[in-house]
Amino acid sequence: MNSKLWPGLLIAFLAANAAIVAVTVSAARRDGPVALVANVEDRSLRWDQWKRTQQESAALGWKALVEIVPASEGKVGQIKVTLADRAGVLANVPLRIELQHDAEPNGREVISSMSDVNGVAIGEHHIRRNGWYTVRVHSPATRTRVAFATEVNVMSMAATGAGEKTR
């Protein structure tokens, strides 16, 4: 083979490698941490039901604002969920709140609570880490409305005392 061809082949190989790495990194950042999603098998088996529940929940017009304070030495953490719809806050709504830190896939906690007259439901948890949490809020169906379910990702920062940034 011609010795002038080798540098071109080497550069082409390195460029192809860089392109493959760029595509892989882009796909990994866009899709999120699939390996750390709780119940990923269960959710994939019930995908149609999950999407239908999400659409029905969106039709309700409810919003859930989530704030998290992580647990510290000798203290439990706190999660606060504020429910509201187009007309205002939602009082006396039973909630099931699932809380999981993204870095602890097996550390999920389930909290049962009810919103007060200000639409606020407060629960306690024992997860000590700062960082991203996945919070699933669910309220069962009643005779007058469909079930409400939403999933929120919240950044918890102990220095400020609350998780306010969502993604």
Whether the CB-CB separation of 66 and 76 falls below 8 Å is answered with: no
**What pTM does this model have?**
0.63
Instruction: Spell out the domain ranges in the chain.
Output: 5-31, 36-166
According to the model, what pLDDT value does residue 161 have? 44
Residue of 143, 98, 139 whose CA lies nearest to 119: 139
Query: pLDDT, tens digit, for every residue of 90-111?
Result: 889 999 999 888 887 777 889 9
Q: What is the torsional sign of CA 150, 152, 78, 102?
A: positive
Mark 27-45 as b/e (b = at least 16 C-beta within 10 Å): eeeeeeeeebebeeeeeee
User: Into which CATH architecture does domain 36-166 fall?
Assistant: Sandwich (2.60)
Q: Which residues of the chain have pLDDT under 70?
A: 1-2, 31-40, 43, 157-167
C-alpha to C-alpha distance for 6 and 27, rounded to whole angstroms: 32
> 3-state DSSP call for residue 118?
coil
- Check residue 120 and give its pLDDT: 92
List CB contacts of 11: < 8 A, sequence separation 6 or more: none
